[in-house]
Amino acid sequence: MKACIIGAGGSGIAAAQVFQARGIDFDCFEKGSYVGGNWKYENDNGMSSAYRSLHINTSRRVMAFRSLPMPEDYPDYPDHFQMAAYFDEVVDRYRLRERIRFNTEVVSVEPVDGSVGEWDVTVEGPEGRETNRYGAVLVANGHHWDPRWPEPAFPGSQNFEGEQIHAHEYREPELLRGKRVLVLGIGNSAVDIAVEASRIADKTFLATRRGAWVLPKYLNGKPIDEIANPVTGSVPIPVMRAVMKRQLKVAVGEPTDYGLPKPDHKLLEAHPTVSSELLPRLGHGDITPKPNIDRFTGGRRVRFLDGSEEEADLVVYCTGYKITFPFFRPEVLSAPDNRLPLYRRVVSVERPGLYFIGFIQPLGPIMPLAEAQCEWIADLVSGRATLPPPAEMGREIDAEEERQRKRFVASKRHTVEVDFYPYLREIRRERKRDSARA
Ligand SMILES: Cc1cc2nc3c(=O)[nH]c(=O)nc-3n(C[C@H](O)[C@H](O)[C@H](O)COP(=O)(O)OP(=O)(O)OC[C@H]3O[C@@H](n4cnc5c(N)ncnc54)[C@H](O)[C@@H]3O)c2cc1C
Ligand SMILES: NC(=O)c1ccc[n+]([C@@H]2O[C@H](COP(=O)([O-])OP(=O)(O)OC[C@H]3O[C@@H](n4cnc5c(N)ncnc54)[C@H](OP(=O)(O)O)[C@@H]3O)[C@@H](O)[C@H]2O)c1
C-alpha cells in the first residue's frame, strides 16, 4: 500500500526524496504553497516562525542533506531566503515538486477498524475533501510552530497595558523601535530578538529563569558545530565538555562576566544558545539582564523575582513551542508537555504504521538526522527490515527516557533533545539490526 507524507518542510521532502529513490509509492500533502516549512519567510501556511533577520545557527556544511550539499557560494550561516532557495533546489533536482500536493491540509488521520497498521487520511484542498487509505503515515508537520506561552500566565498579565507577543509572531525589527522591550527566555529566539532590540529599542531587558552557556558562532575561525565530527562526536560527553569549556573560557569567559546568571547546569546539558552578539551587547549595557518575571503590577509595570520593577511597552515571550498534531484525535496520539515516546524517536509502538520525522531537537541540525530516519523508515516500509517485538521497543523507550533525564536539564524544551552523532550512529545500528532480523 501507498505511504502518506504529511508536510513538505525539510523533513517531508527528505522522506519524499528517499521514498522516490527507493521506489516506494507515496502521496505527500503540504498545507501551504511552498516547500521548506519554517524556512519559507511569511509562508502562506501561517506556521513559519522565521523573522526577517533569521540565519541558521547550525552551519551549512553540517546542516545540509547528505544527498545534496548547499551551494559552495553560500556563507557558513545562510539566511532563511537562501535556505528556502536550497529546499527549492532539492525538490527540483529530484523532481519531487510534481509529487507534492500543495495547498492541501491533512485534517484527520484515523486508524482503520479491525486492521493493524492501516490508516485513513482525510485531506482538504482545492479539489475539496477526500479520504484515502495508506499502509504507512509519515508525520512531518514540524514542532516549532505552535507557540508555548508561559504556563501559567504571569499574575496580572491580562491587565498589562503594553503589548505581549510570542516570538512566533515576531517578524520585523521596526516593531521594537523606540520601545522599552522585555524579552523572556534564553533560547535562540530570545537572544536573537534581544540583540535586535538592543540596537533600536529605547531599552532592552532580557529576563531568564535560568542561565545558559552562550556559544559563539565561531571558535578558532571555524563554525562552532564543526568542532564535532564523526570522530570527535564519539568522544564521551564529559571529555567534549572539558575541551569546549576550556576553549570557551579563553574565547568569551563565563556568562557571569556579562551579568548573566550562573548556569544551573553543565555545558552541553541544555539545547545550545548560540550567539556571537549577545555577550558584547550585554557588555555595552544595551541589554539589561533580569531574573524571571514575578508579576505585572499595573499599567505597564513589571516586577521581577528580585523585587525590581520596570516599565515595558512590549513583552516578547520566547518561551518555546508545543509539539502538536491537530489531525489526530487525542485518544489516537498526543504529546502532552512535549512528551512523545517513540522507538528511536521515530516509530510509534502503540500505533503501528505511524512514523515521525524530525521530532528531535539535536545538539546540531535536524535535517541530516531526518534524512537518516527516512532511510530507516524506507527499510521498514519496504520489508527490508523488521522492528523488534513491541515489548522490547517499550523497554528501550523507557531506558532512553531515563538516559534523557540524566543527560539534559528537565524542561519541556528538552523532551526530544538528542546528541547529533550518537543519534546518527544509533539509527545506523538500528537499520543493521532490523535488516538482519528481516
Ligand atoms: C526560528 C527558528 C530557527 C531555527 N533554526 C534552526 C537551525 O539553524 N538549524 C536547525 O537544524 N534547525 C533549526 N530550527 C528547527 C526547525 O524546526 C528545522 O530547521 C526545520 O524547519 C524542521 O523541518 P520540518 O520539516 O520538520 O518542519 P517545518 O519546517 O515546520 O515543516 C513542516 C511542514 O509541514 C506542513 N504541515 C503542517 N501541518 C500540515 C498538515 N496538517 N497537512 C499538510 N501539511 C502540513 C507545513 O506547512 C510545513 O511546510 C529552527 C526553528 C525555528 C523556529
Ligand atoms: N537559527 C537560529 O538562530 C534560531 C533562532 C531562534 C530559534 N532557533 C531554534 O528554534 C527552536 C526554538 O527555540 P526558542 O528559543 O524559540 O525556544 P526554546 O529553545 O524552547 O527556549 C525557550 C526558553 O524560554 C524559557 N521559558 C519557557 N517557559 C518559561 C517561563 N514560563 N518562564 C520563564 N522562562 C521560560 C526556557 O527556559 P527553560 O530552559 O528553563 O525551560 C528557554 O530559555 C530551537 O531549536 C532553536 O535552536 C534557532
The pLDDT assigned to 423 comes to 97
Task: Specify which residues 227 forms β-bridges with.
Answer: none
Please indicate, yes or no, whether residues 421 and 334 belong to a single structural domain of this protein.
yes
The pLDDT assigned to 233 comes to 86
Please indicate, yes or no, whether residues 341 and 427 belong to a single structural domain of this protein.
yes
Q: Which of 58, 318, 367 to mutate to test the pocket of ligand 2 (most atoms within 8 A of CB)?
A: 318
Ligand 1: nearest atom to the Cα of 192: 1
Instruction: Supply the residue whose CA is at minimum distance from atom 38 of ligand 1.
Output: 141
99 confidence band (pLDDT: 50, 70, 90): very high
pLDDT digits (tens, 9 = 90+) for 297-311: 999 999 999 999 999
Percent of the chain predicted with pLDDT > 70:
100
Please indicate, yes or no, whether residues 294 and 335 belong to a single structural domain of this protein.
no
Find the ligand nearest to 103 CA: 1
Please indicate, yes or no, whether residues 341 and 298 belong to a single structural domain of this protein.
no
The pLDDT assigned to 132 comes to 98
Residue list, ligand 2 pocket, CB within 6 Å: 56-57, 144, 150, 167, 184-190, 192, 209-210, 271, 292, 318-321, 361, 411, 413
Ligand 2: nearest atom to the Cα of 150: 31
Instruction: Supply the residue whose CA is at minimum distance from atom 45 of ligand 1.
Output: 7
Please indicate, yes or no, whether residues 160 and 297 belong to a single structural domain of this protein.
yes
The pLDDT assigned to 326 comes to 98
Q: How many angstroms does the Cα of residue 215 sit away from the middle of ligand 1?
A: 23
Instruction: Supply the residue whose CA is at minimum distance from atom 46 of ligand 2.
Output: 188
Find the ligand nearest to 59 CA: 1
Answer yes or no: is pLDDT of 414 > 90: yes
The pLDDT assigned to 104 comes to 98
Q: How many angstroms does the Cα of residue 410 sit away from the middle of ligand 2?
A: 14
CATH of residue 432's domain is 3.50.50.60
Final residue belonging to a domain, choices 284, 317, 350: 317
Q: Which of 30, 66, 144, 369 to mutate to test the pocket of ligand 1 (most atoms within 8 A of CB)?
A: 144
pLDDT digits (tens, 9 = 90+) for 119-140: 999 999 999 999 999 999 999 9
Please indicate, yes or no, whether residues 341 and 297 belong to a single structural domain of this protein.
no
pLDDT digits (tens, 9 = 90+) for 29-43: 999 999 999 999 999
Q: Is the CB of residue 350 less than 8 Å from the CB of residue 339?
A: no
Please indicate, yes or no, whether residues 335 and 309 belong to a single structural domain of this protein.
no
- Full 3-state SS string of the chain: CCEEEECCCHHHHHHHHHHHHCCCCEEEECCCCCCCHHHCCCCCCCCCCCCCCCECCCCHHHHCECCECCCCCCCCCCEHHHHHHHHHHHHHHCCCHHHEECCCEEEEEEECCCCCCCEEEEEEECCEEEEEEECEEEECCCCCCEECCCCCCCCCHHHCCCEEEEHHHCCCHHHHCCCEEEEECCCHHHHHHHHHHHHHCCEEEEECCCCCCEECCEECCEEHHHHCCCCHHHCCHHHHHHHHHHHHHHHCCCHHHHCCCCCCCCCCCCCCEECCCHHHHHHCCCCEEECCEEEEEECCEEEECCCCEEECCEEEECCCEECCCCCCCCCCCCCHHHCCCCECCCECCCCCCEEECCCCEEECCCHHHHHHHHHHHHHHHHCCCCCCCHHHHHHHHHHHHHHHHHHCCCCHHHCCEEEHHHHHHHHHHHHHHHHHHC
Rounded CA gap, 284 and 327, in Å? 48
For residues 89-101, give the mean pLDDT.
Answer: 98
Final residue belonging to a domain, choices 275, 290, 317: 317
The pLDDT assigned to 232 comes to 86
The pLDDT assigned to 123 comes to 98
Residue list, ligand 1 pocket, CB within 6 Å: 6-12, 29-32, 37-39, 45, 47, 49-50, 54, 56-58, 63, 105-106, 140-142, 144-145, 189, 327, 358, 365-366
What is the chain's mean pLDDT, rounded?
Answer: 97
Which long-range CB contacts under 8 A does 187-191 form with residues at least 24 apart? Answer: 187/212, 187/271, 187/273, 187/318, 187/320, 187/413, 188/57, 188/273, 188/274, 188/275, 189/49, 189/318, 190/273, 190/316, 190/318, 191/273, 191/274, 191/275, 191/277, 191/278
Q: Which of 30, 40, 104, 141 to mutate to test the pocket of ligand 1 (most atoms within 8 A of CB)?
A: 141
The pLDDT assigned to 298 comes to 98
Please indicate, yes or no, whether residues 53 and 157 belong to a single structural domain of this protein.
no
Number of domains in the chain: 2
Answer yes or no: is pLDDT of 15 > 90: yes
Please indicate, yes or no, whether residues 208 and 313 belong to a single structural domain of this protein.
yes
The pLDDT assigned to 295 comes to 98
Please indicate, yes or no, whether residues 137 and 226 belong to a single structural domain of this protein.
no
Count Cβ atoms below 10 Å from residue 402 Cβ, excluding itself. Answer: 10
For residues 263-268, give the mean pLDDT.
Answer: 97
The pLDDT assigned to 208 comes to 98
Cis peptide before 152 (omega within 30 of 0): yes
pLDDT digits (tens, 9 = 90+) for 197-236: 999 999 999 999 999 999 999 999 999 999 888 888 889 9
Residue ranges making up the domain that contains 191: 149-317
Answer yes or no: is pLDDT of 176 > 90: yes
The pLDDT assigned to 392 comes to 98
For residues 349-369, give the mean pLDDT.
Answer: 98
Q: Which of 366, 371, 413 to mutate to test the pocket of ligand 1 (most atoms within 8 A of CB)?
A: 366
Distances (CA, A) of 330 to 7, 230, 436: 20, 39, 35
pLDDT digits (tens, 9 = 90+) for 243-259: 999 999 999 999 999 99
Final residue belonging to a domain, choices 317, 347, 372: 317
Please indicate, yes or no, whether residues 253 and 389 belong to a single structural domain of this protein.
no
Find the ligand nearest to 188 CA: 2
Count Cβ atoms below 10 Å from residue 172 Cβ, excluding itself. Answer: 11
Rounded CA gap, 391 and 29, in Å? 33
164-173, 219-228, 288-297: least confident range: 219-228
Instruction: Supply the residue whose CA is at minimum distance from atom 39 of ligand 2.
Output: 411
The pLDDT assigned to 229 comes to 87
Please indicate, yes or no, whether residues 258 and 400 belong to a single structural domain of this protein.
no
Answer yes or no: is pLDDT of 1 > 90: no
170 confidence band (pLDDT: 50, 70, 90): very high
